[in-house]
Structures are given as structure tokens and as C-alpha cells.
């Protein structure tokens, strides 16, 4: 009688992990650029420092997807949350005028299901391609007993490079500058605890509930928009940027304001998405604006002489201006 046990008996399948690595290799390689050194499977990812900078500064950002993952798990739809993961990190980098260079991910789960995990990493790779950064490494952890059956979590880490002289954006923001909104693609990756509580617990909606011809689950799992290409195209015409994440416009836009100026926002000009209009019937307006992006994924502060060029080069629209104040948002 053999009473010895294996790692697989304890809930960790090494063979599944190896198969997963093989599955994701083509997706990972699709993100590589000329600065990637080596391939997949070493102990660390290597990336050559991009050239062309006088005083290069390395920037790093990390984030997750939050309880949006729970919806993806419940809906068994895993191909978009990886894009969210990349977006939440790289959209922060560009606010400090950093150009994303490479990305790493951390995937932790109760039990590694190779097809699900491969879909997640395929999404991460797609986000990296859209961000024009390389996926040079990651970690997959199978931890039975740490996570409930079927659950997993994601974390992402983006590294980029900025010119040191370009990093101080506050000093470039002046009274009379114009605030331009770049539309969001949806709820993005913030506020999903409230979304789930309201829509599925209080209002008893289902994934198949239709809103303007779309199923609710598809609306909610629409991946966070990535603004890197727009930033690269227009960066010489932008004074400052703010990524509108948790805290909404009222808490994120002040992060790009000097203490003696405020942003006066015309709330009526904001192109509020239908999903937010639906929720606003049941949530106080002030709570909506400090929890969700309300349809604005990124704000740009632009000098008046550059407004036309920015509007022509993007899908942005004017929502306000910079006025004398105290570093706050006036709505």
C-alpha cells in the first residue's frame, strides 16, 4: 500500500503549469519589440533602456482589476480582464509623461485551469500590443486553500521611461487653459463593488438584461480603454493629464492642478454613458461622481492655442477650464 502523497494531491498541478506556459508563449512573443533581450522562461525579464533620452527617468505603476474579476468569473468570460489590467497601469504612467516600455503580471488562483488562464494572458498580451509595450515576464501561483474554488486574482506592473525635464506637469498648467475629456469605454475597472450591489442584489438584474440593445454583462466587462497611442500622438500639445479612476473626476483631476488653480467643470457637457444614467436613478449624484468615471476616462489640460489640434487629433471634447482657485474641482 502506497500512502505517499504528491504535490498534485495537495492541489498543485505542475504539469498543468507547464502546459499553461506553452499555451501563452505565442501571445507573449507577439508583444516583443527590439529592446526585449532573451525569451520566455528565464528567472527575470530583460529589457534594454530605450535610447534618445537626455536624462531618462524610470517610472513604475502597479494595479489590479478589483471586483470586476468576480463578474468575469461568474460570467465565465476571461478574455477582457487582462486588457483592463494593462490599461490601469499604463494609463497611470502616461500621466507622468512616461512612455510604457514593459509589463509583468501576477496571476494567483485556487486551481490552475489552463484554458481560463490562457484567455487572461491573451488579454494581457492584447493590452500590451495596444500600449506598445512588451510583456516580458510574469508569475502564476496555484494556491489551494488561499482562494475559494474557482477564484483568481490579478496584479500588473508597468515600467516606462520619461524625460526628466518633462515630468513636472503642474508648473505647465496655467489659468485659462482648457480641460478636455477623452471618453471612457464604460465603467473601466473601478466601483464594481457598488455596481454588483446595486444591479444584481438590489435591482435583481441578470447578465442578459438588455440596455440599449446590449447585454448588461457585455457592457460591464467592456475593457478599460488604453490611451497610450493618443498620448504619444499629442504629448507635445498637452500640459497635463489625469487618469479618471477610483474617486472619479472630483478626486483625480486635482492631482494635475497646482494649489493656486482650480478646474471649473461644466457637468452638463459631460457625455454620461447609459450605464451611469441607469445607476444614477438609485445612487446620489455626488456619490456617482466620486466613484465612477461617468464617461470620462482621461482628462487633458491644454493651452488655448492647442485646443483645436488636440480635438482634431482625438475623440476628446471640452468640459471645462482652469481658473484661479485652491487646487480643487468646481462642478
Question: Superfamily for 170-330?
Answer: PurM-like C-terminal domain (3.90.650.10)
- What pLDDT does residue 39 have? 75
Model confidence over 136-152: pLDDT tens digits? 988 888 898 898 888 99
pTM: 0.94
Q: Please check the confidence at residue 20 and state whether its pLDDT lies above 80.
A: no
pLDDT band at 190, cuts 50/70/90?
A: very high
Rounded percentage of the chain residues whose pLDDT exceeds 90: 80
Is residue 158 within 8 A of residue 138, CB to CB? The reply is no
- What pLDDT does residue 38 have? 80
| CATH number assigned to the domain with residue range 14-166, chosen from the 4 options 3.40.50.720, 3.30.1330.10, 3.40.50.620, 3.30.360.10 | 3.30.1330.10
- The structural domains of the chain, with segments of one domain joined by +, span 14-166, 170-330
Mean pLDDT of 168-180: 97
Is residue 143 within 8 A of residue 110, CB to CB? The reply is yes
User: Which is it for the CA torsion 89, 154, 82, 121, positive or negative?
Assistant: positive
pLDDT band at 10, cuts 50/70/90?
A: low
Q: Please check the confidence at residue 308 and state whether its pLDDT lies above 90.
A: yes
CA atoms of 85 and 105, how far apart (whole Å): 8
Helices 114-131 and 14-29 cross at an angle (nearest 10°) of 20
Model confidence over 229-281: pLDDT tens digits? 999 999 999 999 999 999 999 999 999 999 999 999 999 999 999 999 999 99
Q: Cell triple for residue 163?
A: 524625460
- What pLDDT does residue 22 have? 76
Model confidence over 281-300: pLDDT tens digits? 999 999 999 999 999 999 99
Model confidence over 102-111: pLDDT tens digits? 999 999 998 8
Do the domains 14-166 and 170-330 sit in the same CATH topology, yes or no?
Answer: no
- Taking alpha carbons only, the member of 255, 250, 251 closest to residue 240 is 255
Amino acid at each position: 500500500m502506497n500512502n505517499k502523497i504528491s504535490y498534485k494531491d495537495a492541489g498543485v498541478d505542475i504539469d498543468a503549469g507547464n502546459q499553461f506556459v506553452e499555451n501563452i508563449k505565442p501571445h507573449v512573443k507577439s508583444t516583443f519589440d527590439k529592446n526585449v533581450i532573451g525569451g520566455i522562461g528565464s528567472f527575470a525579464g530583460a529589457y534594454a533602456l530605450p535610447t534618445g533620452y537626455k536624462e531618462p527617468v524610470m517610472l513604475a505603476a502597479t494595479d489590479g482589476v478589483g471586483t470586476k474579476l468576480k463578474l468575469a468569473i461568474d460570467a465565465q468570460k476571461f478574455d477582457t480582464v487582462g486588457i483592463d489590467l494593462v490599461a490601469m497601469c499604463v494609463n497611470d504612467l502616461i500621466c507622468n509623461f512616461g512612455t510604457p516600455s514593459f509589463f509583468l503580471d501576477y496571476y494567483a488562483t485556487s486551481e490552475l485551469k489552463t484554458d481560463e488562464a490562457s484567455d487572461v494572458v491573451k488579454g494581457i498580451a492584447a493590452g500590451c500590443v495596444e500600449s506598445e509595450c512588451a510583456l516580458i515576464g510574469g508569475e502564476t501561483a496555484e494556491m489551494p486553500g488561499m482562494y475559494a474554488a474557482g477564484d483568481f486574482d490579478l496584479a500588473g506592473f508597468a515600467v516606462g521611461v520619461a524625460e526628466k525635464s518633462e515630468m513636472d506637469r503642474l508648473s505647465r498648467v496655467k489659468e485659462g487653459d482648457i480641460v478636455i475629456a477623452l471618453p471612457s469605454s464604460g465603467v473601466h475597472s473601478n466601483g464594481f463593488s457598488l455596481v454588483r450591489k446595486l444591479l444584481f442584489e438590489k435591482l435583481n438584474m441578470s447578465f442578459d438584461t438588455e440596455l440599449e440593445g446590449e447585454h448588461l454583462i457585455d457592457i460591464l466587462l467592456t475593457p478599460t480603454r488604453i490611451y497610450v497611442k493618443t498620448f504619444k500622438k499629442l504629448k507635445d500639445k498637452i500640459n497635463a493629464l489625469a487618469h479618471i479612476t477610483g474617486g472619479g473626476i472630483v478626486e483625480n483631476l486635482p492631482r494635475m492642478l497646482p494649489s493656486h488653480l482650480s478646474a471649473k467643470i461644466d457637468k452638463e457637457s459631460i457625455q454620461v454613458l447609459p450605464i451611469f444614467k441607469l445607476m444614477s436613478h438609485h445612487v446620489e449624484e455626488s456619490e456617482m461622481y466620486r466613484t465612477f468615471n461617468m464617461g470620462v476616462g482621461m482628462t487633458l489640460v491644454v493651452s488655448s492655442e492647442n485646443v483645436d489640434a488636440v480635438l482634431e487629433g482625438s475623440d476628446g471634447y471640452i468640459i471645462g477650464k482652469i481658473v484661479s482657485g485652491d487646487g480643487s474641482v468646481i462642478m
